[in-house]
A and B are shown apart, each in its own frame.
Chain A
Amino acid sequence: AQSVTQPDIHITVSEGASLELRCNYSYGATPYLFWYVQSPGQGLQLLLKYFSGDTLVQGIKGFEAEFKRSQSSFNLRKPSVHWSDAAEYFCAVAYSYNNNDMRFGAGTRLTVKP
């Protein structure tokens, strides 16, 4: 079955430390991959997306993600976390070039310690 897994429900990092949020998908072909962020009381905002080409994708707010086909992963990274990055992060996968087919992970909540 097609699925999206975010193994970490909650992660805590210190401000200034590096961050990596994990995302794995299960699908036969190369999907379209997305990372969204949801701050408290707000809707989801797109951080970055991968459709094809360079497997290292740069996004907004200093985030990047790397598509690794061999590991079926699309992990999100940031070299130095800011307190304002505290939020919930969602990985999403689309199995066609159509939003109707998008599937979201359950999310990872990020807490940033001072």
Chain B
Amino acid sequence: ETGVTQTPRHLVMGMTNKKSLKCEQHLGHNAMYWYKQSAKKPLELMFVYNFKEQTENNSVPSRFSPECPNSSHLFLHLHTLQPEDSALYLCASSRDRTDTQYFGPGTRLTVL
């Protein structure tokens, strides 16, 4: 039990759909992260939120839109995705930006 949950666990969507990924942490942490994990490639940091403020955006295309309404919840809104966006999307949280990250189980996204 990592204390970080992600829903849905699996998602299949067409290129014209709009969907959202949800992450929730029950650890009282203040920093939350979105990562993309593609096959045979290193984990890529996408976004970082610290105390609900976005502090990092690693040149992520605008078809990915994050939202952090409070320190416990993080969303990733998806629209007009491409097949190459198919990947495992991992959420993580940490007490602050220097502390150990705890990861959720991920959402396996397939874009048709």
Contacts and interface: CB of A to CB of B under 8 A. Distances in A.
Answer yes or no: are A and B bound together in one complex: yes
B97 A98 contact: yes
B4 A104 contact: no
B86 interface: no
A102 interface: yes
Interface stretch (B12-20, B38-46, B59-67, B70-78): B38-46
A2 interface: no
B33 A99 contact: yes
A63 to B, nearest CB: 16
Contacts of A41: 105
A46 B45 contact: no
A38 B41 CA distance: 14
Given A99-B31, A100-B48, A100-B56, A46 B101 contact: yes
Contact of A99 (B2, B41, B94): B94
Interface of A: 4, 9, 41-46, 49, 90, 92, 97-100, 102-107
6 contacts: A43-B102, A45-B103, A99-B99, A100-B55, A100-B97, A103-B42
